[in-house]
Structure 1
Amino acid sequence: MNAAEIRAGLHESHTIPNGRLKAERLETLAAAAKAAEDRGLEGEVLLTLIEAYAYGGERDRMPVAFGRLLRIFDDHPAELGRLSQSIHWELKWMTHNLVNNPSVPLATTYRWLDELHSRYRQRGYSARPVLALRAELAHFVGDDEAAATAMESSIAAPRDEMADCDACERNTWGWWRETVDDDEGALEFWTPLIDGELVCAEEPHRALSQALLPLVRTGRLEEARSAFLKGYQLVRHNVSLRASVGNHIEFCALTGNEARGLEILTEHASWVSEQPHDLSQRAYFLSGVIVLLRRLNALGHGDLPVGAGTVEATLAALELEVGDLCARYDARHGTSAYSERVARRLAREPLLDRLPLGMPATLPAAPRPSDAPAPARRTGATLDELVAEARRLTTARHPLADEAWARVAEGGEELPEFVAAEVERSRATALMDSDPGRAHDLLSATAERFARLGSPAKALEARAAATVALLLAKGRAAAEAPLAALLAEADREYAGGALTPAEYLAVRKGAPFCAMNGLAGQENPPAAEVTAARTLLETELALAEDLGVTGRAGQYHDMLVQLCFQLEDVNAARAHLSSALTSYVDAGQPWHAVNPAAMLAQFALEDGDAKAAEDLASRAIEYGGGLIERERAAHLSSLLVETISRQEGRELDLVTAALAAATRWDGLSEPDTLHNTFMAARAYHFLDRHAEAAALFEEAMPRVEIPYDPYGVAMTRKQYGDSLAAIGRPREAAEQYLEAARLLQDDPDNRVPHARLAWAAAEALRDAGQSDEALAAYRKAALLWSELGEVTPRVRCLRSAAWLLMEMDDAAPEDAGATLDAAQWPAVVAMRAVLTELESLAEGGPSEEVMAELAETRRQLDSMLGEPGESEHADE
């Protein structure tokens, strides 16, 4: 291979993606350059090879190539003099690799650091980068004081051409602060990177991944989500940034997104099995993977498949490998600092129950052996403690009261007779809806049991419940006489001081409960019966308020809401809702306040008070906690999204609420899951946070047809395309625009959006370098605008097409149009056609619009022809 062939191969290598293939090609060229006796050429090839190792995840291969390069540089300074700056720049990065390589003895690493320092000093370069490397090595060894001194000296040293770029330096400073548990300090250094003020080839990619956990630990959850959405797309499948991918996997494991972490791991499964040369990057990557696998195993998912094995088997293998790597680092450093840091990372516990990140990913239900006992809510509790808890929940009318009594019954101990009666009452009450006849018999027997045990209050309350069951089983007539007798006895007992106010009202509830159940059994109850029930409830409510039993008062307000709606007395219903909410909260029973709060939120929305509605919806979610059914919680989350969406300037809050709602709908309603995900994506889009928007759109777009009509799908694809175009992904943007246009092409009601989409597709195709496709798209868009009678967009599309022809001509071989003068250029011919069309329109009836476009077309034609004083300008 001669020098010309080597140079051609070197030029071609720049088009090959980083990785083993590129490195192998350059290794072949390096061997050929060595044989060609052209030291300058060999130096160029070696520099390119060293860079390929660095960006291809093979930094361990750099020293051999660099040793050869330095020998050539020292022996042939004249031939490699022009490469001096590049050599010293790459020498810094090669030394950085040695610092991180456990295969290189510590003494050797120090010698290379001294070599780097010496060569920089000889050429007048600042010691700034050398000191930063010494700080990193001191950190690895465990000498934190030396690391701090070196890093502070590095920051104070002057910057020059050998210093890392501003972005990389700030990343290093942030890493240093994070290693000493200074999250705030780290984030302060990383903020210009995260915000996009400082960028380079690997930033903000790395900083976004490193900032994930510090952002969570400092409570900046929205920023953490944003860093994940932006950052993962930047490092995905980038082998030289595998450590950053490991950070994203770990973040998912510690924020309740284990399923998403498993998806990312699956995408990069080959990185687990392969054995790369860059051991430092592998150790960082595998550590993040182990955090996830440990979490999955702890959740009972050890049998889930991962790569060629299972979670449990892969975890065991990776823990062994990382343990060996740690041992190598410790042996090299003569300390246990490295392995201790890794152990602390692997032992991290989840920071949050769940931080919604986008389209929910769900793990399968973890299996539990059939013979394993169900986990108790309170392990180690005594029978007395269990009974006390059950009684407390019963008094508070807590939704988990029946479960508490079930735990009492399953405690394995013989129950005292009174406690057994309480358990039986709970079981009987649970049958009220499914088998009211059986419930009546059990409650009646329980009432007799309480009476024998000397508890008239419990006996009367059980009889009250039995009366309601009797009504449900046999009708109102069967319950009238027992109910009357019960109330008369309750009055006597209360008057004699045998019942407390709360116990008295617990017995009297039988009458209003029977009245409400009697109405519920009729499809259209007579207004007179509804009014009578309302009067009864108002009497009982007044009594409850007089006796100060607020929980019971809240219950009656709740019942009156239903009756007032039946009587179409909306104002009274709203008043009772507010009173029910207040009573429940004052009584310490917020779980019963969920429905009143939600209904009041709906009323507030109808009144146009979105802020009040948001407050009420938030309170409803808070009151419900984990006590309401999943679908109810999902509806409340959607209600909150609705309230926030109606307020200007609340887009970030809308993202948080919508993604939380998407998570709650997951597994219940895919259309609602998708709708809320798209709501979050559009909020980011509105804020020009296009990286985050694109990440969410990308997750949800494959299923976009589920909740939307064709126009809705088209507009969603347009927004996705806009975000893709904004972050420099025009080819993918064009795909979205074209698909959106296809959806509207036969819709006569949406001809204007169709034309706009065709135009947007043309511009994206142009930006993607697909000139032929862009030219056809511009012409198609111009035709659509012509059919709509729209002059301005039509001529702008045609002018853009003309400029595109100009670019295509410039890219053609030099002799392709050598015989044509300027007037015959296709681009000029196309632009003149636009001019002629506008001149004709101006003659037929000049308008301000036509005259403006005519002047602009003349200006652009002059620019195309290179008239003095004009600059090239195409329509955007």
Structure 2
Amino acid sequence: MNVAEISAGLGESHTLPDGRLKAERLETLAAAARGAEDRGLEAEVLLYLIKSYAYGGERDRMPVAFGRLLRIYDDHPAEVGGWSHSIHWTLKWMTANLVNNPSVPLATAYRWLDELDGRYRQRGFSARPVLALRAQLAELVGDDEGAATAMEASITAPRDEMADCDACERNTWGWWRTTVGDDDGALDFWAPVLEGELVCAEEPHHVLAQSLLPYLRTGRVEEARGAFLKGYRLVRHNVSLRGSVGRHLEFCALSGNEARGLEIFSEHAAWVTDQHEDVSQRAGFLAGAAVLLRRLVALGHGDVAVGAGTVESMLATLERELGDLSARYDARNGTTAYSERLARRLAQEPLLERLPLGVPLTLPGAGPSEAASPAAATGTATGTATGTTLDEMVAEARRLTTARHPHAEQAWTRIADSGAELPEDVVAEIERTRAGDLMGTDPGRARDLLLSSAERFARATRTADALEARAVAAVALLVTGDPAAAETSLAAVIAEAEREYAAGTLTPAEYVAVRKGGPFNAMNALARHEDPPAAEVAAARALIEAEVALAAELGVADRACRYHDMLAQLCFRLEDRDAARAHLRSAMTGYVDAGQPWFAPTPAGMLAQLALEDGDVKSAEDLVTQAIEYGGGLIDREQAAHLSSLLVEVISRQEGRELDLVAAALAAAARWDGLSEPDTLHNTFTAARAYHVLERHAEAAALFEEAMPRVEVPYDTYGIATTRKQYGDSLCAVDRHHEAAEQYLEAARLLQDDPENQVPHAQLAWAAAEALRDAGQGQESLAAYRRAARLWEEMGAVTPRVRCLRSAAWLQNAMDEQAAEEAGTTADATGPGVVAMRAVLTELESIARSDPSEEVLAELAETSKQLGAMLGDPGDE
């Protein structure tokens, strides 16, 4: 292969993507160049080969190629001197790889650092990057003091042409602060990168990944969410950034997003067996993956399939390799610093229960994402752990029943399923609990169970429980359709309760509990009619008001709360909103004061809705926030989802609350997961739009991208088109112009036959043209501009039409000039672009003669100016 062929092959290699194929091509060219006479060409090939190793995830291969390059440089300075800057820059890269490679003896790493230091000093370069590498090696071997000294010296050393770019240096400084537990300091160093002020080829990619856990640990959860949404797409499938992918996996494991983490790991599972990479990057990926897989095993998902095995088998594979890597690092470093650091990383516990990141995902075989175990929700021992006795289980179930706790039913069910021989009064309590569950679906069966439990309670001399069960059985009789019998039965039970109370057999609370049958019967009787007479509603209101007064007189506050709830419903029927509001507030505060906050969300939510209807968004937000807090994971999932959506609505009505809206909407999306896909997607889109308004387009695009495949679910055609346009706008803002054009074109297609949306249709066609232009698709853009112009013409809209035509003319002109340059000629004043611009000018002149409006004259002047610029008039831009 001669010099010309090698040069041609080198040029062709630039078109190949980074990876093994490109590296193999360059290796072939390097071997050929070694036999050629041109040492400068060989140096050039070697530099590109080394760069290919770096960006292809094969940094371990760099030293051999670089050793040859240095020999050429030292032996042939005249021929290779032109590559001096690149060689010294790349020497820094290669030395960094040696520092982080456990296969390189520590003495060799120090020797190369000294080599780098010497060469830099010889040529007058600053020691700034050398000191940063010395700090990294000191940290690896566990010399924290040495690392701090070297890093502080690096930061204060002068910057020159050999210093890493500002973004990369900030990355290193922040990493150093995390190694000593200073998350705030790290985030301060990273701030210019995270805020987009400093960028480079691999930043903010690394910094976004590294900032995830520091953000969580410092309580900056919104920033953590944003870093994930912006950062993951930057590193996804990028072999040279797999350590950062590992950090995203770790973040998912520690933020309650195990399902998302499993999805990400599954996409990259091939990396586990792909050994063509540098060790430090591999270790970073495997460690992050192991944190995730450990979490999945702890949650009981070890048998979920992933890669070529299961979560559990994959974890075992990863931990074996990580153990080997740790041993290699420790042996090379002469300390246990690496293995200790890795052990701490693998042992991390979740930093918060759940940080919604977008469209919710559910682990295979798991329930909906928001489902929580009773023990987790209450913090109480409601489970049947090994060693729990029957007496302890019964005591706990009775405690929960007395407190009217939502998990009382589950506690009694566990006892029923225990297989133990149960005392008769325990059987009675189980029957009573089952009856409550059946009241709405099978009231006849519920009544039978209640009467059976009453008999059992009576035999156990539990008079109060027997009377209460009979009272509720009377309510069941009403529900079955026999109100007269129900009234007679209930009257008899209450009369008996009055006698027992008078005799001192019943406590005030037990007496009031039996009397609850009256209010329940009244409410059920009204529920049997779609529009009951106002007189019946008023009668029920009087009855329940009397019971409230009695409960208050007897000091039974928890029963009064329930009656206030009932009275609020009746007052709404009677169109007495002020009274309803007062009863709701009494119910809410009463439940909380009685230690039963899980009942407070219903009145609090209704009060929030009333405040919102009255335009008092501040009170509405306070109330719905309280409602969600009172629920605490104990309320019905659908109720929690509705409350979350109400909070989204309240926040959306307030200006400047977009970040709060993101958090509320994604939380609502998570709560609707498994209940209503339209609500899940609607809330995800709401969060995306909020990011869009904030011009945080990377986060917006990430959320749109997740939800867009299912956009048809919650919206009508115009809504879908609008959503696609917003997605396209965000894609354009992050320079994803080709994808943006696809969204604009699809949105335009949806509206093309809608006569009521001609303007949005034309606007979308115009936006598609500009996105295609910016994506470098000249011919497609040209056609799109002309189509948009035709649409504006059909509506008689002069200004947007001529602007589309001018843009098309400029695009055509640029294409003419490019074609002329490629042909070795020069574009002239008769090219299609110039002709098109002249046609626009002629059309405007004609319009101006019949309609010399200010708008037309302004466009005429602008078109004349642009034609002059196109023709090279020195007076025009």
Alignment TM-score, normalising by the size of structure 2: 0.95
Choose which of 724, 734, 738 in structure 1 pairs with 2:745. Answer: 738
Alignment of 1:336 onto 2:336:
yes
Deviations 1:671-694 (A, max 9, x none): 111111111111100110000001
Aligned AA for 1:197?
A: E
SS in 2 for 1:812: helix
1:528 Cα deviation after fit:
2.8
Deviation (angstroms), 1:171: 0.5
* Matching residue within 711, 716, 726 for 2:733: 726
Which residue pairs with 1:149 in the alignment? 149
Partner of 1:3: 3
Distance in 2 of aligned mates of 1:37 and 1:440: 102
Kindly provide the CA deviation profile for residues 708-756 of structure 1, in whole angstroms up to 9, marking residues without a partner as x. 1221111111111111110011111111111111111111111111111
Distance 1:22 1:442, change over 3 A: closer
What corresponds to 1:793 in structure 2? 800
- Residue 354 (structure 1) aligns with: 354
Partner of 2:371: none
- Equivalences for 1:368-407 in 2 at 5 Å? 377=383, 379=385, 380-407=387-414
Is this contact kept in 1: 2:816–2:827, CA < 8 A? no
Aligned pair partner of 2:856 in 822, 835, 850: 850
- Indicate the residue corresponding to 2:810 in structure 1: 803
Pair 1:321–1:624, CA change in 2 (3 A): same
- 2:378 is matched with which residue? none
User: Match of 2:295?
Assistant: 295
Question: Which residue is equivalent to 2:649?
Answer: 642
Match of residue 188 from structure 2: 188
Q: How far is 1:437 from its partner?
A: 4.0
Determine whether 1:321 maps to 2:282: no
Question: 1:440/1:792 Cα in 2 relative to 1: closer, same or farther (>3 Å)?
Answer: closer
**Whole-Å separation in 2 of the counterparts to 1:7 and 1:276:** 27
Instruction: State how 1:721-870 maps to structure 2 within 5 Å.
Output: 721-814=728-821, 818=825, 821-822=828-829, 824-870=830-876
Paired position in structure 2 for 1:674: 681
Amino acid of the structure 2 residue aligned with 1:837: E
Q: Which residue in the other structure is 1:93 paired with?
A: 93
Equivalent position of 1:370 in the other structure: none
Write the distance in 2 (CA, Å) between the matches of 1:165 and 1:474.
81
Rounded to whole Å, the distance in 2 between the matches of 1:584 and 1:770 is 65
Question: Against the structure 1 CA distance between its residues 411 and 256, is the aligned structure 2 distance closer, same or farther, given a 3 Å change threshold?
Answer: same
1:465 and 2:485 matched: no
Residues in 2 aligned to 1:129 and 1:433: alpha-carbon distance in whole angstroms? 74
Alignment deviations for residues 170-219 of structure 1 (CA, whole Å, 9 cap, x no partner): 10111111112221111111111111111111111000001111111111
Alpha carbon RMSD of aligned pairs, Å? 2.2
1:321 CA drift (Å): 1.5
Check 1:475–1:804 CA distance in 2 against 1; reply closer, same or farther (3 A cut). same
Opposite residue 363 of structure 1, the aligned amino acid is L
Give 1:859 shift. 1.0
Q: Which secondary structure does the structure 2 equivalent of 1:487 belong to?
A: helix
Deviation of 1:848 after TM superposition, in Å, equals 0.5
Determine the structure 2 residue equivalent to 1:688: 695
Q: Cα deviation per residue 1:126-159 (whole Å; 9 max; x = unaligned)?
A: 1111111111111111122211111112112221
- Tell me the alpha carbon deviations over residues 194-249 of structure 1, each in whole angstroms, 9 at most, x when there is no partner: 11111111111000001111111111111111000000111111111010011111
2:168 paired residue number = 168
d(CA) in 2 for partners of 1:655 and 1:222? 9
Structure-2 change in CA distance of 1:762 and 1:579 (3 Å): same
Which residue is 1:518 aligned to? Answer: 525
- Residue 6 of structure 1, CA deviation: 2.2
Distance 2:284 2:850 in 1: 72
In structure 2, what is the equivalent of residue 198 of structure 1? 198
CA distance in 1, matches of 2:260, 2:452: 54
Q: Distance in 2 between matches of 1:147 and 1:110?
A: 14
Distance in 2, Cα, partners of 1:357 & 1:491: 58
Who is 1:79 aligned against? Answer: 79
1:70-108 CA deviation, whole Å, 9 max, x = no partner? 001111111111211111111011000001111111111
Alpha-carbon displacement from aligned partner over 1:299-325 (angstroms, at most 9, x marks no partner)? 222222222222222222221122111
What code does the residue aligned with 1:832 have?
R
In 2, Cα distance between equivalents of 1:840 and 1:428 = 86
The amino acid that maps onto 1:550 is: A
Pair 1:781–1:441, CA change in 2 (3 A): closer
Does residue 601 (structure 1) correspond to residue 608 (structure 2)? The answer is yes
State the partner residue of 2:564: 557
Partner of residue 671, structure 2 = 664
Farther off after superposition, 573-582 or 790-799: 573-582
2:207 paired residue number: 207
Q: Which moved more, 1:460-469 or 1:696-705?
A: 460-469
Partner of 2:23: 23
CA contact (8 A) 1:276 1:282 kept: no
Counterparts of 1:453 and 1:53, CA distance in 2: 82
Corresponding residue number in structure 2 for 1:480: 487
Provide the residue aligned with 1:136 in structure 2.
136
Large movers: runs of 4+ above 6 Å:
none
Q: Aligned equivalents of 1:438 and 1:743: distance in 2?
A: 55
Instruction: Read off the aligned partner of 1:651 and give its amino acid letter.
Output: E
**Corresponding residue for 1:225?**
225
What SS does the aligned partner of 2:776 have? coil
1:390-417 CA-to-partner distances (Å, cap 9, x unmatched) read: 3332222222222233344556665566
**Shift in Å, 1:294:** 1.7
Matched, 1:506 2:513: yes
The 3-state SS of whatever aligns with 2:600 is helix
Q: What's 2:370 paired with?
A: none
Displacement of 1:632: 2.3
Candidates 713, 719, 722, aligned match of 1:712: 719
Structure 2 gaps, min length 5: 368-374, 376-380
Query: Secondary structure of the residue that 1:17 maps to in structure 2?
Result: coil
Counterpart-to-counterpart distance in 1, 2:594 and 2:27: 78
Q: CA deviation at 1:444?
A: 3.9
Structure 2 Cα separation of the partners of residues 668 and 459 of structure 1: 39
Aligned residue in 2 for 1:630: 637
What amino acid does structure 1 have at the position aligned with 2:861? Answer: A
Q: Aligned to 1:193, what secondary structure does the other structure show?
A: helix
Moved more, 510-519 or 126-135: 510-519
Give the match for residue 570 of structure 1: 577
Which range moved further: 407-416 or 671-680? 407-416
Structure 1 gaps, min length 5? 368-373, 872-876
- The aligned counterpart of 1:371 is none
- 1:697-708 alignment runs, 5 A limit: 697-708=704-715
Mean alpha-carbon deviation: is it higher for 775-784 or for 423-432? 423-432
Residues 252-305 of structure 1 deviation map (CA, whole Å, 9 limit, x = unaligned): 122121111121112222212211231111111111111122222222222222
1:815, CA displacement in angstroms? Answer: 7.9
1:611–1:647 CA contact under 8 A, matched in 2 = no
Secondary structure of 2:405's counterpart equals coil
CA contact (8 A) 1:299 1:366 kept: no
The CA deviation at 1:501 is: 2.4
User: Could you report, residue by residue, the CA deviation over 1:19-73 in whole angstroms, capped at 9, with x for unpaired residues?
Assistant: 1122122222222222111111111111111111111111111101110110011
Cα shift at 1:434: 4.2
2:349 and 2:129 map into 1 onto residues whose CA distance is: 35
After superposition, the C-alpha distances for 1:318-367 in whole angstroms (9 at most, x for unaligned) are 21122111111111112221112112212222222211111111112259
SS at match of 1:354: coil
Task: Describe the superposition over 1:354-392 as per-residue Cα deviations: whole angstroms up to 9, x where unpaired.
Answer: 11111111112259xxxxxx9962634455543443333
1:48 alignment partner, SS class: helix
Range with greater deviation from structure 2 (425-434 or 732-741): 425-434
In structure 2, distance between residues paired with 1:315 and 1:549 = 56
Q: Using a 3 Å threshold, how does the CA distance of structure 1 residues 383 and 309 change in structure 2: closer, same or farther?
A: closer
Query: How far apart in 1 are the matches of 2:543 and 2:225?
Result: 54
- Give, as a single letter, the amino acid of the residue that structure 2 aligns with 1:649: G
Closer, same or farther in 2 for the Cα pair 1:820/1:385, shift >3 Å? closer
- In the alignment, the residues of structure 2 paired with residue 43 and residue 55 of structure 1 have an alpha-carbon distance, to the nearest angstrom, of 18
